[in-house]
Amino acid sequence: MSKKRIVFSPVTRLSGLLSIELFLDHGQIAEANASSTMFRGFEWIMRDRHVTDAVYMTQRVCGICSTAHGAVASYLLDELYDNEIQENAQYLRNIMYAADFIQNHLRHFYLFSMPDFVRMPDYPPFHGQDLTDARLSPGDNQRLVEHYFEGIKASQKSHEILALFGGKAPHQHSFLHGGVSVAPTVDKITRALSLIAEINHFVKNSMLPDTNLISRVYNDYFRIGITPRRLLSFGLFKFGEKNEKLLWKSGTIEDNNKIILPQVDLIEEDIAYSWFAIDENKSLDNKELKPDPYKPGAYTWVKSVKYAQQHFEVGPLARMIINGYYNGGTSTMDRIYARSLETYLLTEFIQQWLKKLTPGDPPIKQKTTPVKNKVTAVTDAMRGALLHSAYIEDEQVLKYDIITPTVWNFSPKDKNGQRGPVENAIVNTNIPSSDMLFTIAGRIVRSFDPCIACGTHVIDCNNNLNITHCEL
C-alpha cells in the first residue's frame, strides 16, 4: 500500500507561515517536508545601503527577536570599525538582550506551547481548541490557565526593561556599534530592578513548576521528537573591549559529548530543495543566488545549512547542554524543559548585571573609519545560532548574508537527501490514531520555537518574486 500524504497547513501558534507535508505508512510518519512559504529578502534589501544601516534594517527581520539582529549587526560593526566597548555598555547590552530572550521564552511556553498540553477556556481566542490528549487534572489545568495570562504580563514587563534602555520595543534604538546610546540613570536602573524581580518570581514560582508538571504528565515526549545528537552554539553575552569574552561558551557537540569550538568556514548553505537558483549573471564570491519559486522538486524558501557536512540543531537545548546546565536528551520535552531553565538563569543574570551598572552618560564611542571590508559576526539568538556577514566598499554594502536559527533547525533536505533537525524529529514518529496526528506533530514542531518570519517575504513594485533588489 502506498504512503498516505497529509499536509499540515498552516502550522499555527508560531511566528510566520509554515506548512509540513507528512507521509504516513502504517501509522508511522515515513517522511516529512517542512515548508516555509515566506521569502527571505533582507540580503537584497541591505545592498547599496550604508553598512551602519544594518543595526536598524535587519531588526525588521522579526518583531519577536529583533534585538538579536541588532546585536549581531552591532558586533559586526564593532569589528568593522575596530570599536572599544566600555564595561558599562556591555552590561547594558546584555541586560537588553537577555530581557528580549525572556519575553520570547515566556511567550513561547505560555502562548505557543502550553495549549498543546492544557485545556484552555472555551471562548475566543481559544474557542474550538483541538486537544485530543488532555491529561492534566482539573485543578492543575485551571492553575496553568491562570498562569497563561500571568505569563503574558511577565513577558510585557520583559519588554519594558528592553524599552527602558533601548528606547522602544521591539526594534530597539540604542544597542548600536560602539556601545549604547541611552544613559543608565538611577531611575531606569531602579525600575528595571523592580521589574526583573517580579519576572524572576513568576518564572521561579510558576513557569518552572508548570514545566515540571507538564514534563511529568507528558513524560512520553522525552522519547518523541528526538533528533541526532548534533548540537551547535555560537555562544552568548559578550564582554570585553573587543567583544572577545563570552559568558556562555560556543561549541559543537556530537554523540561523543566532546565539545569543539565551531569554525565559521565549515558552514555551508545548500539550495537543492530551496526555491533558489544560482545567478549566472552575478560573480561576487561566485555564490550569488536568485529566487526561483517554480524550481522543480523544491518546497521551501529556507535554505539548508550545514556544519562540517552535517545538520546541527541549535537553540536553548544546545546552549544548556554545551554549557553544562542540562544533561538530558534531544527530544520534544527536552527542548521545552531547557528553554524554561534558560529563562530562569537569564532572570538571575539580569539582576546581577543591573547591580553592576554605574549611573552616568551613555556609554558609546563610535569610530568612523572602517579597518576591514569583509566581516562575519556570530552570536546566539533566542532560537539558536545567528550569523551576519557583510562585504562592503566605501562603507556601502555589496553583499549581506544572514543565517538565522530557523535556517539551521528548519533546513530542508540537502543535495544528499540528509534531513534537517525538524524533519528528522518528525520522521519515524508513531501515530496511534488519526486524530492524534496534528497533536503529536504540532508538539514536536513547536518545541523548536519556530520563527518563520526570519524568512520575510518581499516583492518588487511589479509584484514579481524574481527580484534582484527591493527598496522599502
Question: Looking at the DSSP assignment, which residues form a beta bridge with residue 292?
Answer: none
Note the pLDDT tens digit of each residue in 85-115.
999 999 999 999 999 999 999 999 999 999 9
Q: What pLDDT sits at residue 42? A: 76
Give the N- to C-terminal CA distance of the chain in Å, as an integer.
Answer: 51
Q: What pLDDT sits at residue 465? A: 37
Contacts of 227 (CB under 8 A, 6+ apart): 313, 330, 421, 424, 425
Q: What pLDDT sits at residue 282? A: 62
C-alpha–C-alpha distance, residues 140 and 403, integer Å:
40
Residue with cell 519577536: 64
Q: Let me know if 124 is exposed, middle or buried by CB neighbors in 10 A (0-12, 13-18, 19+).
A: exposed
Q: Let me know if 458 is exposed, middle or buried by CB neighbors in 10 A (0-12, 13-18, 19+).
A: middle
> SS3 for 293?
coil
Which has the closest alpha carbon to 391: 403, 375, 379, 402?
A: 375
Half-sphere exposure of 375 (CA within 13 A, CB side): 24
Average pLDDT, the chain: 92
Whether the per-residue pLDDT at 280 is higher than 90: the answer is no
Q: What pLDDT sits at residue 205? A: 98
Whether the per-residue pLDDT at 246 is higher than 90: the answer is yes
Using DSSP bridges, classify how beta strands 384-393 and 374-381 pair: parallel, antiparallel or unpaired: antiparallel
Using DSSP bridges, classify how beta strands 251-253 and 276-278 pair: parallel, antiparallel or unpaired: unpaired
Higher pLDDT, 335 or 280: 335
- Rounded to two decimals, what is the model's pTM? 0.93
Whether the per-residue pLDDT at 437 is higher than 80: the answer is yes
Amino acid at 28: Q
Q: What pLDDT sits at residue 72? A: 97
Contacts of 58 (CB under 8 A, 6+ apart): 42, 46, 69, 70, 73, 388, 402
Whether the per-residue pLDDT at 17 is higher than 90: the answer is no
Pick one of 3.30.300.30, 3.30.56.10, 1.10.645.10, 2.30.40.10 as the CATH number of 4-455: 1.10.645.10
**What are the residue boundaries of the structural domains of the chain, listed by start?**
4-455
Work out the average pLDDT over 331-342.
98
Query: Of 63-67, 78-82, 341-345, which range is least confident?
Result: 63-67
Whether the per-residue pLDDT at 468 is higher than 50: the answer is no
- Other Cβ atoms closer than 10 A to 22: 22
Whether the per-residue pLDDT at 455 is higher than 70: the answer is no
Whether the per-residue pLDDT at 285 is higher than 80: the answer is no
> Grid coordinates in use for 76?
559586526
Work out the average pLDDT over 358-378.
97
Which has the closest alpha carbon to 48: 399, 409, 315, 376?
A: 399
Higher pLDDT, 463 or 59: 59
Work out the average pLDDT over 311-328.
97
90: left (phi over 0), alpha (psi -120 to 50) or beta: alpha
Q: What pLDDT sits at residue 287? A: 65
Whether the per-residue pLDDT at 461 is higher than 70: the answer is no
Higher pLDDT, 166 or 454: 166
Share of the chain above pLDDT 90, in %: 81
C-alpha–C-alpha distance, residues 433 and 20, integer Å:
18
**Residue 353 contacts residue 87 (beta carbons within 8 Å):** no
Query: Of 45-59, 71-85, 318-332, 365-379, which range is least confident?
Result: 45-59
Q: What pLDDT sits at residue 37? A: 85
Whether the per-residue pLDDT at 231 is higher than 50: the answer is yes
Residue 154: which pLDDT band, with cuts at 50, 70 and 90? Answer: very high
Residue 470: which pLDDT band, with cuts at 50, 70 and 90? Answer: very low
Note the pLDDT tens digit of each residue in 128-137.
888 999 999 9
Work out the average pLDDT over 396-410.
93
Q: What pLDDT sits at residue 377? A: 97
Q: What pLDDT sits at residue 454? A: 60
